[in-house]
Amino acid sequence: MTKIWIKKSDDELKARVFDALARNVNYEKETVFGVPGSRLDEKVFHRDATFLKDAPFLSTLMENPNHIGCHTLELSEPFFEGTQEIERELIEICASDIFGGEPGQQDGYVASGGTEANIQALWIYRNLFITEFGASLDEICILCSSDSHYSVDKAANILSITVAKIEVEEDTRSVTAAAAGDATRRLVGVGKKYFIVVANMMTTMFGSVDDTKCYVDAIRSAGAEFRVHVDAAFGGFYSPFSGGNVALNFSNPDVSSVTLDAHKMLQAPYGTGIFLARKGLMRFAVTKEASYVEGQDYTLIGSRSGANAIAVWMILMKNGPDGWREKIMLLQERTRWLCSRLDDIGVAYFRHPNSNIVAIRSQSITREQAASHWLVPDNHDNPAWYKIVVMDHVTAEKLEPFVELIQARA
Ligand SMILES: *Cc1c(COP(=O)(O)O)cnc(C)c1O
């Protein structure tokens, strides 16, 4: 799948980032009078630290470029062109190399997180239905599974549109075609005409992956209008590398936008959500009143750190596509091993075969055992499930004693 995502050495990364910084404005050497920004406070963040010359990410943090706006569109603020170009490359890697888009046919930006990227998507579609179809707010409805992330509810609240969550099957964690059909007919019956489908590429609690087909078929046969957003905040840097056969990407003509979170499986600093959308959609989120920003503002967030984009780009480039696939293969293998140990001792759990989340039924583990290993419940008052997320630090060496502990459950 690779076009521009190519593994780079430390020296190559360093050269590219320092070259980009050299093409941003330099607050010290140039006369930059008009922007309310500068480097980080030198009394606190000392610039003479010798390691900085070998630390491109920290150097970018110190230089503090502002990536306000969306840089895949024609016009952007000229002050930070150097580092914005790296962000553009990062968006292109995510959209075309990882998410199957045609080169140059998607826009996007580094958002504060998956929450913002999801709100951005739903904001765009709400405005699209209003301006292109003359929709009223109460005719627009978000459609997703009951395992969807609560940021969807947040967005519905902010945007004053309703959200309909279709109950998943208890054991498969998926929405059936029958349930999607029933829900859609009921919603159309109460006046909903425009649907925003949120399809999950790994749900937060179960790692389950949705099939867009059940929603899309139901809406088409009800004769309503729809757009599909993929919430890959959890799975965006995992599922495309762990196999399985889901068309939750731009190769699927029904999919228009995607949310990813680099601060989850990619181990990037917080503040690295990624929003991707097919060209032509960002304009539905433009704030024309942002007249002091060159190129205007097409994003929810406003000012944001350019260092975040650099961090994500560096992680992807250092690993390269093969290195990243290998890392995910290792996590997959470890997750498979954990599941086989749980099978050995008769513990009930859910695991999607292409995911690194293992959700253990609360009957199979005591509250104290779960708490002692920081397992996360689906619900703190009355947990039905506790999840394990198998990451770098969740090694077989640490998992084996845990398995032995729950084997001895009361
Ligand atoms: C984590 C998550 C989000 C929200 O992301 P934040 O980065 O915490 O804002 C949205 N959707 C899913 C599926 C998630 O796992």
- pLDDT tier at 247 (50, 70, 90 boundaries)? confident
Find the radius of gyration of the CA atoms of the chain. 23
Angle of the 151-159 helix axis to the 114-133 helix axis, nearest 10 = 40
**Do the beta carbons of residue 314 and residue 56 sit within 8 Å?**
yes
pLDDT score recorded for residue 288? 80
Q: Mark whether 141 and 278 lie in a shared domain.
A: yes
pLDDT for res 246: 73
Per-residue confidence (pLDDT) for residue 188, from 0 to 100 = 98
Nearest in space to 315 (alpha carbons), one of 272, 259, 357, 258? 272
Same domain, 314 and 376: no
376 three-class SS: strand
Name the residue at shortest CA distance from atom 12 of ligand 1.
233
Same domain assignment for residues 251 and 396: no
| Ligand 1 center–CA 405 separation, angstroms | 31
Q: What angle do CA 225, 231, 99 make, to 5 degrees?
A: 95
**66 domain-assigned:** no
> How remote is the CA of residue 168 from the centroid of ligand 1, in Å?
19
Single residue among 290, 318, 346 that ends a domain in this structure: 318
363 lies in the same domain as 275: no
Domain presence at residue 45: no
- Regarding whether 244 and 99 lie in a shared domain, the answer is yes
User: Quick one: 250 and 385 in the same domain?
Assistant: no
Tell me: the pLDDT tens digits for 302-342?
Answer: 999 999 999 999 999 999 999 999 999 999 999 999 999 99
Ligand 1 center from residue 215 Cα (angstroms): 21
CA of 149 to the centre of ligand 1 (A): 6
Digit-coded pLDDT (tens) for 187-228: 999 999 999 999 999 999 999 999 999 999 999 999 999 999
Task: Note whether 286 and 356 are same-domain residues.
Answer: no
CATH number at residue 185: 3.40.640.10
Q: Is 115 in the pocket of ligand 1 (CB under 6 A)?
A: yes
Task: Please work out whether the CB of residue 208 comes within 6 Å of at least one atom of ligand 1.
Answer: no
CA-CA distance, 173 to 202, in Å (whole number)? 11
- Same domain for 255 and 159, yes or no, is yes
- Do 233 and 99 lie in one domain? The reply is yes
- 253 pLDDT higher than 70: yes
Q: For ligand 1, say whether the CB of 364 is within 6 Å of any of its atoms.
A: no
Q: Are 2 and 321 in contact (CB under 8 A)?
A: yes
Whether 46 is in a domain gets the answer no
Q: How many domains does the structure of the chain reveal?
A: 2
pLDDT band at 80 (very low <50, low <70, confident <90, very high): very high
**How confident is residue 108, by pLDDT bands cut at 50, 70 and 90?**
very high
Alpha helices in 110-176 (DSSP H): 114-133, 151-159
* Residue at 9 is within a domain: no
CA 60 from centroid of its chain's CA atoms: 23
275, 401: one domain: no
Q: Which of 59-63, 290-294, 341-345, 383-387 has the lowest mean pLDDT?
A: 290-294
Strand order in the sheet with 162-166: 106-111, 273-278, 255-261, 225-232, 194-200, 140-145, 162-166
* Residue 234 alpha carbon, nearest atom of ligand 1: 15
CB 122 within 8 A of CB 229: yes
**Atom of ligand 1 at shortest distance to CA of 115?**
9
Distance of CA 235 from the midpoint of ligand 1 (Å): 10
Query: Ligand 1, from 116, 204, 270, 355: best to mutate by most atoms within 8 Å of Cβ?
Result: 204
Whether residue 261 has its Cβ less than 6 Å from ligand 1: yes
Specify whether the CB–CB gap between 121 and 229 falls below 8 A: yes
279: CB partners within 8 A, 6+ apart: 105, 106, 107
Would you say residue 243 lies in a domain?
A: yes
Reported pTM: 0.96
pLDDT on residue 392: 94
Pocket perturbation via mutation, ligand 1, pick of 110, 122, 150, 261 by most ligand atoms within 8 A of CB? 261
- What per-residue confidence (pLDDT) applies to 10? 97
**Any ligand 1 atom below 6 A from CB of 148:** no
Residue 58: left if φ>0, alpha if ψ -120 to 50, beta else—which one? alpha
End-to-end C-alpha distance for the chain, whole angstroms: 50
Atom of ligand 1 nearest to the CA of 116: 9
Q: What is the CATH number of the domain that holds 337?
A: 3.90.1150.10
Mean per-residue pLDDT of the chain: 95
- 18-43 mean pLDDT: 91
Using the 3D structure, point to which of 291, 318, 345 is the last residue of a domain.
Answer: 318
At which of 299, 318, 337 does a domain end? Answer: 318
For residue 284, which phi and psi values (nearest 5 degrees)?
A: -75, -5
Q: Is any ligand 1 atom within 6 A of the Cβ of residue 151?
A: yes
239 and 343 assigned to the same domain: no
**For residue 358, how far is its CA from the centre of ligand 1 (angstroms)?**
18
What is the full DSSP assignment across 282-327?
Answer: GGGG-BTT-TTSTT-B-SSS-S-BHHHHHHHHHHHHHHHHHHHHHH
DSSP secondary structure letter of residue 268: P
CA distance 167 to 162: 16
Q: Which atom of ligand 1 is nearest to the CA of 202?
A: 13
Domain of 367, in residue numbers: 320-409
- Torsion sign, CA atoms 115, 117, 122, 124: positive
pLDDT at 2: 52
Ligand 1 pocket test, candidate residues 120, 151, 200, 210, most atoms within 8 A of CB = 151
Q: Is the pLDDT of residue 21 over 70?
A: yes
Q: What are the φ/ψ torsions at residue 65 (nearest 5 degrees)?
A: -70, 145
Q: Using alpha carbons, list the distances in angstroms from residue 143 to 6, 146, 279.
A: 37, 10, 23
pLDDT, tens only, 151-166: 999 999 999 999 999 9
29 secondary structure, DSSP code: T
pLDDT tier at 271, thresholds 50, 70, 90:
very high
pLDDT at 33: 86
CA 118 to centroid of ligand 1, rounded, Å: 8
CA quadruple 162, 120, 276, 139: dihedral positive or negative?
positive
Asked if 147 and 206 sit in the same domain, the reply is: yes
Query: How far apart, in whole angstroms, are the C-alpha atoms of residue 70 and residue 290?
Result: 13
Q: Which residue's CA lies nearest to atom 3 of ligand 1?
A: 114
